[in-house]
Amino acid sequence: MYTTVRRMLYCALALSGAALAQDDGFTKNFPLASCQFISVGGNAYFRLRPGSQLYFSNARCLAAGKCDQLDELWITTGHDVRRIPFTAGNDTRIASARVVEERETLDGQLEEVSRNFFSNCWPSRDVYYFGEETDIYENGSIVSHEGSWLAGRRGALPGIAMPEDGFIVGAKYYQEVAPRVALDRAEHTKSGFSVQVPAGRFENCLAVEETTPLEPDDIGHKVYCRGVGLVKDDDLELTAIYGDTPRQD
C-alpha cells in the first residue's frame, strides 16, 4: 500500500502545466498531522541508528588530479534527541528528532560542523528533516552560523529527507522549508543500480539531484543505497562504516 507521502509525490509529478506555473513542481506540503514523529528507525535509504558513523573522503578524486584539496566528512548518528515544537494544521506538535552531526575538514582544517535534526514519521517511515545548527570555521574559529534553521521558527516547516520507498524515480520534494534561509530540493533521477566505493560495493542504489531556488546554479548529486544510506556526495565517497552493519531493511 502506498503511503500518503508517496501518493503526494506521484501527484506532484502529474500536475498540469497550469499548476506547475504556480509553483516549481516540488512537493512542500506534507501530511504532518498524520505522523507520530519518533527519533529511531528511519527507512532502508535513511537509517536513524544511534552510534553509527559514516566516513567520506574525496581521496580518489585527489589522486586522479581532479580535486585540489583533501575533503573529509564524518556523519555520526548520536544518542542525543531534540524535542522540536512545530505547528501542523491548527495543532502544536512536538517531534522527537535524532541529532546527526556532520563534521567536514579540508586538508585537515575544520571547515564546518552541523547538528542536523531528523525524525521518523511513524508508521509511514518517511524521514523528515527538522532543521540544523551550523558552525562555519575559519582558521580554527567559528565565523558564522549560515544556513541554520529550525522547524517551528520564523515560518520554517519540516521537509522530507527521504521517503520510505526511496526508489521512486521522478519524485520531487523539498528537503528544507525555511523561507530565505534553506530551501533545498531533491529529485530522484535514477534507481536500481550498483555502486563501487572504497567502503565496498552496494546494490539497489538511488541517484538524487539537489537544487535550491536560493542558488539556482548550485546543483549537487548524491547516491543512496539500500541498507546503508548515503554513499556518494559529489566527489565525496563512502570510505568506512563504523558502529553499524549495512542491512537490507
Q: Which residues contact 149 (CB under 8 A, 6 or more apart)?
A: 131, 132, 156, 176, 178, 181, 182
Residue pair 28/88 in contact by the 8 Å Cβ criterion: no
Q: Which residues contact 169 (CB under 8 A, 6 or more apart)?
A: 188, 189, 190, 191
**Is the confidence at residue 136, as pLDDT, over 60?**
yes
pLDDT digits (tens, 9 = 90+) for 60-101: 999 999 999 999 999 999 999 999 999 887 889 999 999 999
Q: What's the grid cell of residue 34? A: 498524520
- Reduced to 3 states, what is the DSSP secondary structure of residue 19? helix
**Is the confidence at residue 9, as pLDDT, over 50?**
no
pLDDT score, position 8: 43
Q: What angle do CA 52, 56, 62 make, to 5 degrees?
A: 170
Residue 144 carries which side chain, given as an amino acid letter? S
pLDDT score, position 35: 94
pLDDT score, position 181: 93
Distances (CA, A) of 192 to 168, 206, 241, 245: 10, 7, 22, 21
Domain positions in the chain are 4-242
* Closest to 75 (Cα-Cα) out of 248, 230, 234, 235: 230
Asked which of 27-36, 52-61, 95-104, 201-210 is least confident by mean pLDDT, the reply is 27-36
- Reduced to 3 states, what is the DSSP secondary structure of residue 5? helix
pLDDT score, position 166: 64
pLDDT band at 3 (very low <50, low <70, confident <90, very high): very low
Asked which of 50-54, 163-167, 194-198, 209-213 is least confident by mean pLDDT, the reply is 163-167
pLDDT score, position 21: 31
pLDDT score, position 6: 43
